[in-house]
Structure 1
């Protein structure tokens, strides 16, 4: 029973202290499950992230479900999910109940401005961490540049870009893996 509580508590802490969505949570999840708890190794974590991104839903939620399932089955997945979403639910409930009274307070606005400034750095940390394990070659560089061009210049939806990259990998990179 203690192991299940540890799963819940680990993801609860991540959910409680992360602002900025799933990508901002990646460094915290990685630190907790790869470095601190050693539930998965770095390569398994990257595989879980890849799978989590390809499923509908929030990245952090999908990742927590996969990790919870990997280490303790269905109950582990449920507890990891609850640990991830419960803090946000409680915070939103609290804000909905009391925010209208505080929304114009100077110090409350300063707090949100500080949090807003930190979130892009959490996303950058996730990018740097993930890029460290990426094989440095021309094909991956091509995929990165093509993805940036597709999304930022041609305004192709990220989901379509991911599907195209997956098809490209399947058609042209399978000989490299086999």
Structure 2
């Protein structure tokens, strides 16, 4: 059991150390490690964890790590995964805070951060494409996705309200689909 917790901690520590840009940027790494290398769960489960994590308070990456850790080893697994995810951040932020005034104006540091930003944008785009492929399955999904994108972009509506609205729309669509399916069988 301790060995399994150490594996969870180490895995999420490595992800936390290279996941600049938050939870969406970690999706490609998460897919490779959790689905392909360890075979702990399938892509649909990961996407469900992402969707649920977006509607919960807190940082998506930590929420997802808690769900995965919990699935593997219940509460001790959730704690190990969450600690693994936040440990690199605490270490890196502590080091940066200590030395910040010494190198914040260094052009090499500024260029490195600009390069990291480009990489993060690519990782987030990969996550968006993957989530689109898994989540948007029909015309209803396309319409809802585009409507929520427009609302998020052009209004000040809370993302929480958008997530709740989409959840209700999904439930409603499933109920209508269920009724239509029953009527067709008759």
Return the TM-score normalized by structure 1.
Answer: 0.93
Which residue of the partner structure matches residue 110 of structure 1?
111
Which residue of the partner structure matches residue 160 of structure 1?
161
Which residue of the partner structure matches residue 69 of structure 2?
68
Which residue of the partner structure matches residue 92 of structure 2?
91
Which residue of the partner structure matches residue 147 of structure 1?
148
Which residue of the partner structure matches residue 5 of structure 2?
4
Q: Please give the alpha-carbon distance, in whole angstroms, between the structure 2 residues aligned to 1:32 and 1:154.
A: 37
Deviations 1:2-46 (A, max 9, x none): 221111111000000111112111221222111111111111111
Runs of 4+ aligned structure 1 residues displaced above 6 Å come to none
Report if aligned partners of 2:136, 2:145 keep a CA contact under 8 Å in 1. no
Displacement after TM superposition at 1:154 (Å): 3.0
Displacement after TM superposition at 1:114 (Å): 0.6
Q: Please give the alpha-carbon distance, in whole angstroms, between the structure 1 residues aligned to 2:114 and 2:102.
A: 18
Deviations 1:95-134 (A, max 9, x none): 0001211111111111111111111111101011122223
Unpaired runs of 5+ in structure 1? Answer: none
Unpaired runs of 5+ in structure 2? Answer: 180-186
Correspondence 1:33-72 to 2 at 5 A: 33-72=34-73
The secondary structure found in structure 2 opposite 1:83 is helix
Calculate the aligned-residue CA RMSD, in Å. Answer: 1.5
Deviations 1:117-176 (A, max 9, x none): 111111101011122223531110111111111111234222211111112222333243
Between structure 1 and structure 2, the one with the greater Rg is: 2
Return the TM-score normalized by structure 2.
Answer: 0.90
Q: Which has the larger displacement, 133-142 or 94-103?
A: 133-142
Q: Please give the alpha-carbon distance, in whole angstroms, between the structure 2 residues aligned to 1:93 and 1:80.
A: 21
Q: Please give the alpha-carbon distance, in whole angstroms, between the structure 1 residues aligned to 2:134 and 2:165.
A: 22
Displacement after TM superposition at 1:57 (Å): 0.5
